[in-house]
Amino acid sequence: MFEPDRNLPNEILVHIFSIISQGDLTKVALVSHRFNAIAERVLYSSIDIVEQPTKNAPKRSLGWCKAMKRKQLYDIPRKLSIRWRIHMDKSKSLPHWCSLLNKNIRRLTLLDILELSIAPSSEAAIPALELIIRDLRLPNLRHCLLYGGNLRWPTGSPCCKPKPSVMCAFIAFHSGLRYLAVVDISESAVKLVPHDAVPELSIFYGSHRGAPFILPGRSVYHLVLTGMERDLSNENLSHMALTSVPLRILDLSSNWISPSVLRDIAVHLPTIEIFRVRLTLDRALTPIVSRPISIYFAILSWGGRISLNPFLGGIP
């Protein structure tokens, strides 16, 4: 007699369980001890927590911390994403919650992806994000997103101001990072990052003022920027061009960019092959429309560099 619980190899069960919803997987875990062990590994391999803690405790985050007390789970998580969406300015327990997260994250020695979006607290002496990442050492970390604002309403201006020494130590230790996002965090937090840190970095997502401190000398080929157009100065652009490999992808889709700034980008970053931007065409289309408009466009190159000059030449 064929009994799935005994006859199917673990590899097949893992594949089957990986396409089952989390709700159904928790039911499957009740079938047998074997199913429970396999389902648990699938459930905890990728954690995505989104909640809105205010006066009340972040129940999902604290529940995850409680579950992670079991040593058999330490080597399972590969991805951890925690997003607290609104300001937590009424809770005196915030430092304690952050301390619990820090204590449990540091146990995840095989973690590959860490994403933290923690809104700042107006009454906290120390930013919550700083409390969570302080002294974290994750030797297998390759992808890291640190968001100091709110993912639903990113401002592009620094909301979170962790100690530069804490941010510097965190980035410098994780030399294997290939993707780094530092958004809505003061650029002073990345100014002190050593030039020889994160040598394998290939994708950076950050502010116009932070990127000039991170890009020089590093093999970044994909750049995503957010912030104010005025910070895309010629000086900052010239520093962004100092990567050790050609910068091929530039994403400015969260910005309002004028044709004059596009001209500066074309001069300083001539190796761009893929470009995404929200373009403001108020002056160019004044005779046609009564108000400024924006458009998205991407330029793709198949085997060669692009030039923005033919496009910009037709704009007054």
How is the chain split into domains, by residue range?
A: 1-45, 52-201, 220-316
**What is the predicted pLDDT for the residue at 20?**
83
CATH of 1-45, one of 2.30.30, 1.20.1280, 1.20.1250, 1.20.120: 1.20.1280
Three-state secondary structure call for residue 129: helix
Spatial contact of 172 and 193, defined as CB atoms under 8 Å apart: yes
Q: Provide the 10 A C-beta neighbour count for residue 221.
A: 18
Residue 104, CA atoms < 13 Å, CB-side half-sphere: 22
Given this model, what pLDDT does residue 245 score? 96
> What is the pLDDT at residue 284?
45
Longest dimension (CA), the chain: 80
Q: Which pLDDT value is given to residue 8?
A: 78
Q: Is the separation of the CB atoms in 246 and 271 below 8 Å? A: yes
User: How far is it, in rounded angstroms, from Cα 257 to Cα 250?
Assistant: 13
Whether 50 contacts 85, CB under 8 Å: yes
In words, the CATH class of domain 52-201 is alpha beta
pLDDT for 299 equals 46
Helix (H) or strand (E) holding 225, with range, is strand 222-226
pLDDT at residue 300, rounded to an integer: 42
pTM above 0.85, yes or no: no
- Burial track 48-58 (b if 16+ CB lie within 10 A, e otherwise): ebebebeeebb
Q: Establish whether domains 1-45 and 52-201 are of one fold.
A: no
pLDDT of residue 41: 85
Half-sphere exposure at residue 197, Cβ-oriented, CA atoms within 13 angstroms? 18
Nearest in space to 232 (alpha carbons), one of 201, 198, 267: 267
Contact in structure between 143 and 109 (CB atoms under 8 Å): no
Q: What percent helix, strand, coil does the chain show, rounded to 5?
A: 35, 20, 45
d(CA 251, CA 269): 13
DSSP 3-state of 35: helix
The phi, psi pair for 195, rounded to 5°, reads -65, -25
**Beta carbons of 135 and 104 less than 8 angstroms apart:** no
Query: What's the confidence (pLDDT) of residue 32?
Result: 85
Print pLDDT tens along the chain (316 aa).
445 556 778 888 888 888 888 788 888 888 888 888 888 888 889 999 988 766 678 889 999 999 898 888 899 999 999 998 755 555 678 888 899 999 999 999 899 999 999 876 554 556 888 899 999 999 999 999 998 865 444 444 445 677 888 988 999 999 999 999 998 887 887 888 888 999 999 999 999 999 999 999 999 999 999 988 889 999 999 999 999 999 999 999 887 788 888 889 989 999 998 888 876 655 444 443 333 434 444 444 434 444 454 444 444 4
